[in-house]
Chains A and B, each alone.
Chain A
Amino acid sequence: MPLTVSSISLPAAAREIAKPALDGLAVPGSGRLAELPWNWEVWVLVCLGLAVFGYAYGLRRLNPHARSRIFGILRIASFAAGIAALFVALISPLDALDDQLFSAHMVQHLLLMMVAAPLLVCSRPAMAFLWAFPMSTRRVIGRIWIAGGLHRSVTALMSPLAVWLLCSVVLWFWHLPGPYGWALANEGIHTLEHFCFFISALMFWSLVIEPFGRRRLDYGSTLIFVATLGVQNGLLGALLTLAGHPFYGAHFNTTEAWGLTPLEDQQLAGIIMWIPASVIHLTSLGVLFVMWMRHAEREARVAVPSRTRLSSSLAVQRYTTVLAILVTFGLSGCDRHGPASYWAMSGAHADRGPALMQKYGCAACHTIAGVPNARGQVGPPLAQFGRRAFIAGILSNNPDNLVKWLRSPQSVIPGNAMPDTGLTEQDARDIAAYLYGDT
């Protein structure tokens, strides 16, 4: 079907049907972007302003160490980008244009759901907002959260099946000509429409991204979750692109000013919904798949020492690991210093160890020889580390695993008492070298 079907004018019947919806709104525009107004509606500005203030203030109250650990520059940047996307979608002339062009409306929805929502979810806003309050208020909020049943209802609402159904219903319902027309005819319903899209998108991306790491939906199921919703989105986009007549009466006499027939406008919107949105869905599927494989690798590495869960694929991995160690041994023989110890770590400075362990607070929980005042009793003493069979009772004791464990204990055993301290690779290697040096 050719995309330019401008010669086909609207069926007269369609114009008749659309008439009631046109009363009192959708005045044809001038067709010039510069003449479109900005939307300085107070409550939109207040909401955006509050969000930015809450985030910034929360970050300010956190100590710098925790801030860089929990948020970091990337998350803060993604918050800024998310807010910028919201600003473009809700305040820039795009908002005024969406009354005139269905395709502009589609771009706005795409910005809300596929750009702003994932960026904001990545930036962990809830945690920053919480920190914007003083300790006593945070406690009250926590108490209400648990005791008021909020926690339970949010958990129930966030169950993957509920989110999947909600996203599907929201998607199809609001693109039916009737509800779409109501939204354009009534500002309140229009706001409700955007609210539905935005909230369902936040829920969707929260399950997909899981900014705090503990997944409610495992990787394989998340792939199905994203793919099935993505396909629905694609089908609807295809439907709009391939349709034989325009659906949305509210745009019937506003598109001409922009050089488009209503059908062309709808085809453009359909393509926008079909292709860019699907690219985002596909990209997230790819990223999820890679994360899934990494996760599986880590699980396998953790599983190897237990020996009971050894399957054939794990056995292959194990032999590869053994081979790699043997090769390392062989190569270490080439070192001009002669055969090095198994624990030797290249490029690490064991002498930096004590100072680093002071700096990162290891000494607060562990008793460590050679580190002043390191008499903590929370974790095990770190003497003669090289003689141990396991790290944290689960990883085989070798330099790579020790560095991995030091850098992010929470990713190895989520919820264990040892916090992620934000060690850099080099610092972790130096500390490991010091610990093994004590052997």
Chain B
Amino acid sequence: MVELGVSRTVLPVGSKAHHASGWWGMLTVIATEATLFAYLLFSYFYIASHAIGAWPPYGMPKLSLAIPCTMLLVAGSFTMWWGERGIDRDNPVRLMIGLVVSAVLGLVFIALEGLEWAGEPFHLTSDAYSSLYFTVTGFHLVHVAVGLLLLMVLFVWTALGYFDAQRHSAVSIGVLYWHFITIVWLAVFFTFYIAPRLG
């Protein structure tokens, strides 16, 4: 008779602390994406500086949806920070709550952006302003969507019990990306909605 012994000791997943190679990988991703957005926003200002006639051509962009959008993303950054603090204290439930709330805030952000897009009187190909508007906000939306995917994966991993107070580098990396999206949105918001008002 053969007896099979299964060891109860489970090897830990992921590295300790958050300075894993993934962390540096995320920093390089942020570097490239930040460069992309820097160039996009520079193109906006450059084209604005050469515009003949009124700028923005369709009047001041409305703030009624943009301000709630901004508050949603900033709040999402706070909930993610709060969730990460939870796993720092070995509390995966708090992290899961943080992930769900941030994801919901992100989803509502995408919905509001969609509403704003639907309400615009111009299309992607109308003129330079419209194509800048859809390109920049569109790129940002794609980044939010990728962020949502990331949060979902983190949620599943947390539910499977992959993380504890020491080993949760994946969470820290995801939170870093989520903060990056918020900061990029602040720059986009400033460029498209605030700068024309201070022109």
Contacts and interface: CB of A to CB of B under 8 A. Distances in A.
A179 interface: yes
B50 interface: yes
Interface in B155-199: 190, 195, 197-199
A239 B199 contact: no
A242 B46 CA distance: 8
B42 A239 contact: yes
A239 B45 contact: yes
Contacts of B149: none
Interface of B, secondary structure class, is helix
A105 interface: no
Interface residues of B, number: 13
Nearest to A266: B49
Contacts of A247: 49, 199
Contacts of A243: 49-50
A179 B195 CA distance: 10
Contact of A235 (B38, B51, B197, B199): B38
A176 B199 contact: yes
A244 B52 CA distance: 9
A242 B49 contact: yes
Contacts of B199: 176-178, 247
Nearest to B191: A172
Interface string A157-187: 0000000000000001100111100000000
A179 B199 CA distance: 8
Interface string A225-254: 000000110010001001111010000000
A177 B46 contact: no
A128 B198 CA distance: 41
Contacts of B52: 244
Contacts of A244: 49-52
Contacts of B190: 172
Contacts of A176: 195, 198-199
A247 B199 CA distance: 8
B49 A239 contact: yes
A245 B38 contact: no
Contacts of A235: 38, 42
B38 to A, nearest CB: 7
Contact of B198 (A177, A232, A239, A242): A177
Contacts of B51: 244
A239 to B, nearest CB: 5
A172 B52 CA distance: 22
B49 A178 contact: no
Nearest to B54: A13
Nearest to B35: A231
A245 B49 CA distance: 7
Contacts of B49: 239, 242-245, 247
Contact of A231 (B38, B46, B195, B198): B38
Contacts of A177: 198-199
Scoring B38, B49, B197 by chain A CB atoms within 10 A of each residue's CB, the highest score goes to B49
B39 to A, nearest CB: 9
A173 B199 CA distance: 10
A353 B99 CA distance: 67
Nearest to A173: B198
A243 B199 CA distance: 14
Contacts of A231: 38
B13 to A, nearest CB: 28
Contacts of A242: 46, 49
Interface of A: 172-173, 176-179, 231-232, 235, 239, 242-245, 247
14 contacts: A177-B198, A178-B197, A178-B198, A179-B198, A235-B42, A239-B46, A242-B46, A243-B50, A244-B51, A244-B52, A245-B49, A245-B50, A247-B49, A247-B199
